Structure 1
Amino acid sequence: MSKATFTLDFEKPIQLLRDQLEELRKSSTESQMDVSAEIRAIEDKITETKKRIHAELTPWQKVQLARHPQRPYSLDYIGLLFEDFQELHGDRQFRDDRAIVGGTATFEGRPVMVIGQQKGRTTKENLARNFGCPNPEGYRKALRLMKMAEKFGMPVFCLIDTPGAYPGVGAEERHVAEAIAVNIREMSNLRVPIIATVIGEGGSGGALGIAVADRVLILQNAYYSVISPEGCAAILWKDRSHSARAAEALKITADKLLELGIVDEIVEEPLGGAHTDPASAGESLRAVLARQLEEVSGLSMDKMLDGRYGKFRKMGVFQEA
């Protein structure tokens, strides 16, 4: 992962304190003076400021955190959570889409299939991975791997992090909407446990193409939405500057999604966001994945499939007074 520091606007008070702390440590070393009390005071202030800021985050600020360029991506979590990962490539029809990665691995000693949407850290990587926006062959690769998992009785873990499926001419020519629709249909009936986790951005059908699961989890500062806040603002207010207003109206943050029954559990992140301590974020996710997998694996096949189908059928139901 990149070591360069990237600071969001609302993180600037924290960064200023960190800079003060670094300067104090540097001057202490040069002057050989004991300033441990002052250092502890600034460290305490950093923690207090973090707590205050992150307790009051707006939906738009959480969207910014979900997009943080230093946030752990799918391959980061795969490296933290799974062993013996063997990446498998290609959809056997057109080409390999690097915006989706997947392969066999072991999780807590059990063979599994893991599939994730992957962004790049640099401009070169982002171009290679299409900025995490899968083409139809990415969804067809994912489905091929899910069918392989079904054949060998391996649970499937999906890691969701995409602004949306790629909307380019080539993707439309190769039927991206059909590829997503087929995945939704086939995942509804896949005869192995499926656990999906939104680790960053959960953008529309691009996310749903690998998110039909027995359990849908979301990290504390991730979001899951039918449209991006910018896209919503452009449609409703004809102006992308209303993105913050759209983020509030869309109810796309983890707490709102849990209230609405769209997700099953929120995975807690380290104070400051997953990018501040990826290892801790990984351990939190590992514990939840292990528990959820045990629960789903204990169900009969009929009960598991009925629960998965019913879970998605009841979404969006409302009553008029």
Structure 2
Amino acid sequence: MNAFERLKEARHAGRPTGAAYVAALFENRLDLCGDRRFGEDPAIISGIGTLSGRPVTYIAIDKGADLDSRMRNHFGCPMPEGYRKALRLMKQAEKFHRPVICLVDTLGAYCGAEAEERGQGEAIAENILEMMGLRTPVISVVIGEGGSGGALALAAADRVYMLENAVYSVISPEGCASILWKDSGRVADAAQCLHITAADMVDLHVAEEIIPENFADFPQMCAAMTVQLTMDLDELCALTPEELLEQRYRRYRRIGVYEENGSIVRFTEH
């Protein structure tokens, strides 16, 4: 499958939503709502629960399962209060030494005037800044679309996983095509140029591994995810906060490649 075909798969209406993953992965759940500044954003589900018996904080972007819920959730495009709610839960998790699991599926942050009036850009930037210094483990899984800063605000993590047909991009392929070629119809070309696929993300060290999709047996797929997440948390929770922050810093220093004298060179930690 090429990048455009995987993009269509990532956007397929029949894919499990963030709420479906929360229900399948976490037990003893208690949803926590509101950002304590403006209100509640239903596009982001968050709370506390257990994963394999370990207390965790979960944060998931939910596109909605039908037309009514999709409209209520702005089709998975969070508002500023959603990101502020997520950050509130992350800081709470840090206080009580709970790891954080984020599930990302968004075209991007909500782009309406009301979101800008309430500080959308500031909310996203603050999340990224605070996540880089969070003194508790964070794991993010891109379960569908990972669109621009709307996704990065929940994915500045210690480990990032991509589902097999998930995509991760700095801009939507439609937006890229409109800017570069003044033709949104060239979305397939833009998708290819942007290197948005899970394989691209692993190659560029943006993501650690690809999680196979098996929606025909969703419980089994989530059971396999639980095993992987549990192994990661066992490793990350064994680190001191200082070791965790140093490891996170080095992870982001390694991301990307560049071309020099016709050769592809990877970034180093230094």
The TM-score normalised by the length of structure 1 is 0.79
2:260 alignment partner in structure 1: 320
Q: Is the Cα–Cα contact under 8 Å of residues 155 and 192 in structure 1 kept in the other structure?
A: yes
- Which region of structure 1 is more displaced relative to structure 2, 305-314 or 222-231? 305-314
1:294 alignment partner in structure 2: 234
Deviation string, structure 1 residues 291-319 (Cα, Å, up to 9, x no partner):
21122122222111011122224434535
Q: Shift of residue 195 of structure 1?
A: 0.4
Indicate the SS of the match to 1:114.
strand
2:141 corresponds to 1:197 = yes
Q: Give the counterpart letter for 1:134 in structure 2.
A: P
Q: Shift of residue 228 of structure 1?
A: 1.2
Which protein is richer in strand relative to its size?
Answer: 2
Alignment equivalent of 1:187, drawn from 131, 147, 157:
131
2:87 alignment partner in structure 1: 143
- Which region of structure 1 is more displaced relative to structure 2, 223-232 or 308-317? 308-317
Return the alpha-carbon distance in structure 2 between the equivalents of residues 278 and 231 of structure 1.
Answer: 32
2:225 alignment partner in structure 1: 285
Alignment equivalent of 1:253, drawn from 188, 194, 197:
197
2:250 corresponds to 1:310 = yes
- RMSD of equivalent CA atoms: 1.2
Which protein is richer in helix relative to its size?
Answer: 1
Indicate the SS of the match to 1:158.
strand
Q: Is the Cα–Cα contact under 8 Å of residues 97 and 138 in structure 1 kept in the other structure?
A: yes
Return the alpha-carbon distance in structure 1 between the equivalents of residues 180 and 23 of structure 2.
Answer: 41
Q: Give the counterpart letter for 1:311 in structure 2.
A: R
Return the alpha-carbon distance in structure 2 between the equivalents of residues 262 and 184 of structure 1.
Answer: 15
2:2 corresponds to 1:58 = yes
TM alignment of 1:217-228, pairs within 5 A? 217-228=161-172
Indicate the SS of the match to 1:277.
helix
Return the alpha-carbon distance in structure 2 between the equivalents of residues 74 and 184 of structure 1.
Answer: 21
Q: Shift of residue 234 of structure 1?
A: 1.2
Q: Is the Cα–Cα contact under 8 Å of residues 268 and 284 in structure 1 kept in the other structure?
A: no
Indicate the SS of the match to 2:48.
strand
Q: Structure 2 unaligned segments of length 5 or more: list them.
A: 262-270
Q: Is the Cα–Cα contact under 8 Å of residues 80 and 282 in structure 1 kept in the other structure?
A: yes
**Count of matched residue pairs:** 261
TM alignment of 1:154-173, pairs within 5 A? 154-173=98-117
Return the alpha-carbon distance in structure 2 between the equivalents of residues 193 and 302 of structure 1.
Answer: 11
Alignment equivalent of 2:176, drawn from 218, 232, 236:
232
Q: Is the Cα–Cα contact under 8 Å of residues 52 and 226 in structure 2 kept in the other structure?
A: no
Return the alpha-carbon distance in structure 1 between the equivalents of residues 153 and 106 of structure 2.
Answer: 11
2:182 corresponds to 1:242 = no
Q: Cα 1:156–1:250, aligned 2, differ >3 Å: closer, same or farther?
A: same
Q: Is the Cα–Cα contact under 8 Å of residues 204 and 257 in structure 2 kept in the other structure?
A: no
The TM-score normalised by the length of structure 2 is 0.93
Return the alpha-carbon distance in structure 2 between the equivalents of residues 150 and 265 of structure 1.
Answer: 25
Q: Shift of residue 73 of structure 1?
A: 1.3
Q: Is the Cα–Cα contact under 8 Å of residues 269 and 284 in structure 1 kept in the other structure?
A: no
Q: Give the counterpart letter for 1:289 in structure 2.
A: L
Indicate the SS of the match to 2:207.
coil
Return the alpha-carbon distance in structure 2 between the equivalents of residues 320 and 174 of structure 1.
Answer: 43
How many percent identity over aligned positions?
49
Alignment equivalent of 1:85, drawn from 25, 29, 46:
29
Return the alpha-carbon distance in structure 1 between the equivalents of residues 63 and 90 of structure 2.
Answer: 21
Q: Is the Cα–Cα contact under 8 Å of residues 160 and 196 in structure 1 kept in the other structure?
A: yes
Pair member with larger Rg: 1
Q: Give the counterpart letter for 1:235 in structure 2.
A: I
Return the alpha-carbon distance in structure 2 between the equivalents of residues 269 and 164 of structure 1.
Answer: 23
Indicate the SS of the match to 1:278.
helix
Return the alpha-carbon distance in structure 2 between the equivalents of residues 250 and 233 of structure 1.
Answer: 10
Q: Shift of residue 165 of structure 1?
A: 0.3
Q: Structure 1 unaligned segments of length 5 or more: list them.
A: 1-56
2:70 alignment partner in structure 1: 126
Q: Give the counterpart letter for 1:283 in structure 2.
A: A
Q: Is the Cα–Cα contact under 8 Å of residues 17 and 65 in structure 2 kept in the other structure?
A: no
